[in-house]
């Protein structure tokens, strides 16, 4: 049953309990590619239940069977951006011919930088419709032409990770030169660290990453719970009258860049304590008067913080968010639309965006759109602790990364009223 909307209320405004988060989809999707390339040498534990990971797993199964049919295999990854980027590289090493496609929005998200880099290496990739965008025609079993490739670093770190994941399986390996500033560096570091867990070594000197051709070693990759999902619980605790939540399995030393939420939320009055039973997050005070927040290394946290700041009437400025324009939706435009529903706004000043809250007010109820974007739904849901009633349209989008989100809210005292599509 698909849902048209969810209406949220929280009578007590007190949050206390334990929330078991799903595995990180960022780690899971990398681990699945590594497992596939290792041909069974590497195993994976605690895979994410997120739809994006399910899609990736199914796509890899389709690719594995493709050579048996001899026909062109169409792989539709729907809205799964990570799957699109990682499979664009992986399918060149698979046996078979493929059409890689996705939703209408996915076909508007650029892939040309990655496809060009792969073509330089020797991949046989063509655009099925519009140059630079999916769908892609990919002929597997590529013969490598060269090992050196240059790629822009400021558009999407997933392009780099996609190439690095296949690097040890290339006949000549890979020398990847990053041009310009690197966005979301922690995600590239995550990729290299996970490859290292599977026995793959690398050299990273200045702007160049080199991976020699090498075999994966027997290993088990354990996927840590999702720090992006944790960010919504930080917002919930910050907005509560009194709040403490335990998040089992999260570690102080994480591969995930979104662990940056620990530091960011100290400025919003939430303390973090890593204990034996998990991460404890607690509302302690009003935080600091810090104004400028840079999300270059953790852009997926920006929506959480903007919605939170607007909800507590705190003026902030954000930077490092240019990549948000090419995500599931134009996230900057979507944020502006939704916070304006209660009087806040976002004003652009070059690549810095100012959140103004002096004209905010408290409506009796407010309805937020989700724009086919899971993070819009989860960033705005915590505002049910500020407003008497919050309605989220098309709430099923959370299945992309955190399918248990609404049930977890219920467990922590939120009243959740569902309205199904007729």
| Residues 219-238 pLDDT 10s | 999 999 999 999 999 999 99
Give residue 31's pLDDT. 98
Domain shared by 16 and 86, yes or no: no
Last residue of a domain, one of 222, 242, 263: 222
Task: Please tell me the predicted confidence (pLDDT) of residue 325.
Answer: 72
* Order of all β-strands in the sheet with 345-349: 292-294, 316-319, 352-356, 345-349
Packed helices 185-197 and 25-38: angle between N→C axes, nearest 10 degrees: 40
The reply to whether 96 and 199 lie within a common domain is yes
Model pLDDT for residues 118-175, shown as the tens digit of each residue? 999 999 999 999 999 999 999 999 999 999 999 999 888 999 999 999 999 999 999 9
On whether both 211 and 269 belong to a single domain, the answer is no
Q: Is pLDDT of 103 > 90?
A: yes
38 and 11 both lie in a single domain: no
Q: How many CB atoms are closer than 10 A to CB 297?
A: 18
Domain count, the chain: 2
What lies within 8 Å, CB to CB, of 263 at 6+ separation is none
Report how far apart, in Å, the C-alpha atoms of 110 and of each of 131, 132, 227, 357, 396 are.
Answer: 9, 6, 26, 34, 25
Q: Are residues 280 and 208 in the same domain?
A: no
* Cα separation, 417 vs 73, whole angstroms: 41
pLDDT tops 90 at residue 30 = yes
Domain of residue 183, CATH code: 3.65.10.10
Final residue of a structural domain among 191, 222, 253: 222
pTM: 0.84
- Average pLDDT over all residues of the chain: 94
Backbone angles phi, psi at 117, to 5 degrees: -60, -45
User: With 90 as the cut, is the pLDDT of residue 202 above it?
Assistant: yes
284 and 344 together in one domain: yes
CA torsion 163→167→170→174, rounded to 10°? 90
State which residues form the domain around 378. Answer: 3-22+225-420
Distance CA 149, CA 139 (A): 20
- CA–CA gap between residue 260 and residue 263 (Å, rounded): 6
| Packing angle of the helix pair 157-166, 185-197 (nearest 10 deg) | 20
Annotated active-site residue 300? The verdict is: yes
Domain end (from 222, 252, 286): 222
**Residue 394 shares a structural domain with residue 251:** yes
Report which of 108, 112, 111, 139 is spatially closest to residue 125, judged by C-alpha positions: 139
Give the mean model confidence (pLDDT) for residues 73-81.
94
Same domain, 13 and 79: no
> What is the number of residues in the chain?
422
Residue 323: predicted pLDDT: 76
Same domain, 387 and 274: yes
Task: Given the residues 258, 300, 373, 396, select the one marked as catalytic.
Answer: 300
**pLDDT above 80 (res 329):** no
Which pair of tokens denotes residue 402? 């955190």
Cα separation, 202 vs 163, in Å, equals: 13
- What value does the mean pLDDT take over residues 29-49? 96
The answer on pLDDT for 1 being more than 80 is no
Q: Identify whether residues 213 and 276 lie together within a single domain.
A: no
36: Cβ–Cβ under 8 A, 6 or more apart, which residues?
A: 60, 63, 64, 90
**Residues whose CB falls within 8 Å of the CB of residue 358, separated by 6 or more in sequence, listed in order:** 313, 315
Q: Do 15 and 41 lie in a common domain?
A: no
Confidence of residue 328 (pLDDT cuts 50, 70, 90): low
| 238-277: pLDDT as tens digits | 999 999 999 999 989 998 999 999 999 999 999 999 999 9
Same domain flag for 160 and 242: no
Question: How much of the chain, in percent, has pLDDT values that exceed 90?
Answer: 87
């Amino acid at each position: 049953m698909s849902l048209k909307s969810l209406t949220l209320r929280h009578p007590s405004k007190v949050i206390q309990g334990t929330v078991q988060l799903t595995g990180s989809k960022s780690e899971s999707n990398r681990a699945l590619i590594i497992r596939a390339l290792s041909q069974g040498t590497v195993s994976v534990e605690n895979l994410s239940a997120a739809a994006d990971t399910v899609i990736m797993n199914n796509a890899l199964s389709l690719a594995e069977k493709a050579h048996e049919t001899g026909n062109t295999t169409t792989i539709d990854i729907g809205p799964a951006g990570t799957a699109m980027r990682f499979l664009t590289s992986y399918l060149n090493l698979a046996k078979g011919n493929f059409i890689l496609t996705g939703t209408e929005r996915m076909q508007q998200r650029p892939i040309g930088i990655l496809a060009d880099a792969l073509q330089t290496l020797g991949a046989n990739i063509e655009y099925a419709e519009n140059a630079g965008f999916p769908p892609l025609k990919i002929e597997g079993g590529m013969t490598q032409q060269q090992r050196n490739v240059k790629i822009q670093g400021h558009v999407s770190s997933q392009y780099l990770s996609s190439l690095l994941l296949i690097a040890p399986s290339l006949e000549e390996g890979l020398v990847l030169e990053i041009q310009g500033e690197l966005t979301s560096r922690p995600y590239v570091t995550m990729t290299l660290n996970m490859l290292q867990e599977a026995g793959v070594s690398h050299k990273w000197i200045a702007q160049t990453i080199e991976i020699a051709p090498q075999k994966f070693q027997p290993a088990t990759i354990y996927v840590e719970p999702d720090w992006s999902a944790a960010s919504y619980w930080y917002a919930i605790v910050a907005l509560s009258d009194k709040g403490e939540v335990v998040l089992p399995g999260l570690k102080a030393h994480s591969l995930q860049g979104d662990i940056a939420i620990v530091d960011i939320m100290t400025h919003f009055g939430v303390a973090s304590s890593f204990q034996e039973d998990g991460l404890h997050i607690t509302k302690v005070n009003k935080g600091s008067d810090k104004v400028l927040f840079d999300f270059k290394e953790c852009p997926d946290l920006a929506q959480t913080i903007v919605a939170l700041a607007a909800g507590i009437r705190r003026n902030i400025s954000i930077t490092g968010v240019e990549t948000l324009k090419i995500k599931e939706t134009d996230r900057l435009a979507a944020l502006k639309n939704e916070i304006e529903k209660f009087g806040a706004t976002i004003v652009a000043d070059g690549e810095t965006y100012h959140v103004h809250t002096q004209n905010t007010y408290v409506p009796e109820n407010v309805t937020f759109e989700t724009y086919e974007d899971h993070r819009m739904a989860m960033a705005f849901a915590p505002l049910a602790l500020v407003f008497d009633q919050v309605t989220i349209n098309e709430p099923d989008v959370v299945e992309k990364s955190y399918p248990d989100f609404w049930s977890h809210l219920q467990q922590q005292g939120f009243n959740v009223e569902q309205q199904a599509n007729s």
